[in-house]
A and B are shown apart, each in its own frame.
Chain A
């Protein structure tokens, strides 16, 4: 993490939020993040837990990264099998 230099405060004369405001902010953000994830991950609970664990463990920074890397790994792992089938699939599509 980059260490901060001195950054001047923003409008220090203005009143900022209360603890209750901050709590409402958290609930609002949590809801928005959950809604975003719901669209992203319509997958079963056990797999969601795996994705969550990977993020919390710091292996990936987001669910999108987990999915991207998982698909890339899966592609590489199954490439010999896919490589044999792809020419036939492409020929079928051209027909």
Chain B
């Protein structure tokens, strides 16, 4: 029997990613760490992200994921510190928080992603100012909402479950806007139909 490779539907495998703090916080807030396990074989984070996760009260989740070897903490080398500071200043220039020290974690995540090119294929990052800088460096981006849409596409989540996850994040202070939630709800239904 001839084997068909062309136009074959792809089966969802797992990929290696680097993450900033925000998308992981959203996964923890909504109780959807199952989606991290589903799509990623390893999530690399720099030390600044680890410190932020612990400061946000996510220490238990972090320890659990490190024990599972899903979350991996990577040190930023002294030779990379200049680049980190430069990126943090660039992010601060277009962010609402103008102190570059407040953007250390995003900058470290971008530097780590640049170092891991070839192994990590996506950077999880949802803050606009940092995303602009990452995009200028041709870094492929996704985020927690993108993960939710993928789960909708794979029929892992219903549109209602997707919306509930975003609302749980918002109830805990994460700023997912009304229009983002409404539009993503509509698109979740759309991708599930395909």
Give A residues with C-beta under 8 Å from B: 1-19, 21-26, 28-30, 32-38, 40-45, 48-49, 51-52, 55-56, 61-64
Contact = CB atoms under 8 A, between A and B. Distances in A.
A61 B37 contact: yes
B160 to A, nearest CB: 16
Contacts of B121: 32, 35-36
B25 A10 contact: yes
A44 B5 CA distance: 6
B122 A29 contact: yes
Contacts of B179: 18-19
Q: Interface SS of chain B: helix, strand, loop or mixed?
A: mixed
A22 B190 CA distance: 14
Interface stretch (B75-83, B109-117, B147-155): B147-155
A37 B15 CA distance: 9
B48 interface: no
B3 interface: yes
Nearest to A30: B150
Contacts of A10: 21-22, 25, 52, 56, 174
